[in-house]
Copies of this chain bind each other. A is one copy, B any other.
Amino acid sequence: MKNAIKVFAPATIANLGIGFDHLGLAIYGPGDEIIIGEGSEKGLKIKEIKGAKGRLPIDPTKNTAGVAALSLLEAIGAKDYALEMSIHKKMPIGSGLGSSAASAVAGVFAVHKYLRTGLDVSELLPHAVKGEQIASGAKHADNVAPSLLGGMVYIRDNQTLDYKRIYFPKGIFFAVVYPEISILTRDARSVLSKSVSLENAIQQAANFACFVTAANSSDLDLMARCLDDRLIEHQRASLIPYFNEMKEIAMNKGAMGFSISGAGPSVFAMCFNQIEAENIAEKLQSFLKGKKIQATTWVSDINNDGAYLF
């Protein structure tokens, strides 16, 4: 590819138990890489997709990265530019780690950097959301925003994309475990009861509010006490094999908290330090192995960089 550049958008842990549909943070390691360069004909073309085992469409109007990129290209009056993209998926699809969000962000960020749009990174958000929307069916920015901007972000309103980045203490590490089973986001949604008790709703709100301010002031013990999801986790846990056993292992090993990443099946343990996170990741992987379930693990602290240009 002529004059090509390479960008990367990281995977994300969304929901974090207490912040369902409104909270997410970026991690290091998994994510999407896109190489973008001069194309041979008018318009955007996706040349190849690596690492997706043929599961993603090559047509840019149907591909998450393509739709996000096209949305930005249209907005800046550049949709006739001859552009070519090569997508390298460096993370599992359908894992609950924001795979489609990473694609959408990488797509729009690639165009942004390649054409030097001069836009503020935050202005890319609506385009990335549009891309992610074709994959997930819903307008949610809780994976897209942290993948793009880095750090921990909550989206106050997913319709207007009213969001805020919040400081998250650097020393906290996540042990992320992806049991290689598949959960469809729509199944993960359909198990959720449409109504909840006022009491649990109110306690969830308090925990969410407390978690973000505790993070802001590096009050780690309080953060740990807040990680107590009353609305979602118990409903979705049944979709993830050995969820309760894994949680028990992690909590016994001293995790600050343990819950489901996004719609699952990935789970995470939030840990006071890196060594603890590494121990828990190893422990959970070998536990699942004993149950004949293949699992991939990552250990990461918060990724404040978000999408970047190599």
Q: Which residues of A contact B (CB under 8 A)?
A: 18-23, 154-157, 162, 164, 166, 192-214, 216, 219, 222, 225-226, 231
B162→A225 contact, CB < 8 A: yes
B210→A20 contact, CB < 8 A: no
Interchain nearest-CB distance for A176 vs B (Å): 23
A202→B22 contact, CB < 8 A: yes
Docked complex Cα distance between A40 and B23 (Å): 60
Interchain nearest-CB distance for A225 vs B (Å): 6
Docked complex Cα distance between A192 and B202 (Å): 12
A166→B198 contact, CB < 8 A: no
B164→A205 contact, CB < 8 A: no
Q: Could you list 19 examples of A-B contacts with CB < 8 Å?
A: A18-B205, A19-B205, A22-B205, A154-B206, A154-B213, A164-B214, A166-B213, A194-B197, A194-B199, A195-B196, A196-B197, A196-B198, A201-B201, A204-B205, A205-B205, A206-B208, A209-B212, A212-B212, A212-B213
Docked complex Cα distance between A155 and B22 (Å): 21
- A155: chain B residues within 8 A (beta carbon): 206
